[in-house]
Amino acid sequence: MVSGPILLERGRYRAQFAQTPGDVAAAQALRGRAFGKGGIDRDAFDELCRHVLVIDRSAARPVACFRMLELDSGAAVGGCYSATFYDLSRLSGFDGRMLEIGRFCTEPGRRDPDILRVAWGAITALVDSRDVRMMFGCTSFPGVDPAPYGDVFSLLGRRHVAPERWRPLVRAAEIVRFESRAGTGAGGAAALRAMPPLLRTYLGMGGWVSDHAVVDRQMGTLHVFTAVEVAAIPPGRQRALRAVVSG
């Protein structure tokens, strides 16, 4: 049973902070299942972050989780997880509180949209209470072969690359440039459907991405740096998110 403070409770799901080592271990086990590692997923950043779990109250078990690292401003961005893959020096001038959201995942096979709704409701409550001005993180595509994602990467490169003043630069040795990907000609709607749900949510809020993906062979994924400035979230989306919080 996860024991931490409750952030949000709606219907059968409850979002709450991990508080004990056992709570964190439950999140790491869920991550291991979600990322197909066949065991526990953990790294050194776990000790720096706060962990949030979404609990299915009917089964008393976590069905989603993420971790968060709060930064007072862009001056601290070099110490975050995403900075191990991207040169984020352009973001060092961002003047506002930032929140890195990482290892966001759901239990394999769970498709209930209320899970993500409660997770994003909890994030909204945190953003509002802490006056966060930018959310960011690495969203992940399964596998290290970019070929299946030609349409998606082509769409990202055409429509969703970060403004130059914030755009992440190359740090990793093995990358996939979006501008080099030729899609099949499938429409934007098809490419959106092929994206991880987390990335679709960011883009729906007016978010942007790096101009390249990073190949992470240890995790077996392709990472895409993704961010959204809170002030740029469309008013309708802001109202919808806060409606989840207010119930």
pLDDT digits (tens, 9 = 90+) for 23-43: 999 999 999 999 887 789 999
User: Is the pLDDT reported for residue 3 higher than 70?
Assistant: no
- pLDDT band of residue 4 (cuts 50, 70, 90) is low
pLDDT digits (tens, 9 = 90+) for 91-148: 999 999 999 999 999 999 998 999 999 999 999 999 999 999 999 999 999 999 999 8
Please state the domain extents for the chain. Answer: 6-246
CATH number of 6-246: 3.40.630.30
What was the pLDDT predicted at 206? 95
What average pLDDT does the structure give for the chain? 92
What single string gives the DSSP state of each residue in the chain?
---SPEEEEETTEEEEE--SHHHHHHHHHHHHHHTT-SS----GGGGTSEEEEEEETTTTEEEEEEEEEEESSGGGGGGSGGGGTEE-GGGGG--SEEEEEEEEEE-TT---HHHHHHHHHHHHHHHHHHTEEEEEEEEEEESS--GGGHHHHHHHHHH-BPPTTTPPEE-SSSEEEGGG----S--HHHHHHTS-HHHHHHHHTT-EEEEEEEEETTTTEEEEEEEEEGGGS-HHHHHHHHHHHH-
The answer to pTM > 0.75 is yes
pLDDT digits (tens, 9 = 90+) for 211-225: 999 999 988 999 999
pLDDT digits (tens, 9 = 90+) for 166-210: 999 999 999 999 986 665 555 577 788 889 889 999 999 999 999
What was the pLDDT predicted at 77? 97
**pLDDT top residue among 35 and 2:** 35
What was the pLDDT predicted at 74? 96
- pLDDT band of residue 1 (cuts 50, 70, 90) is low
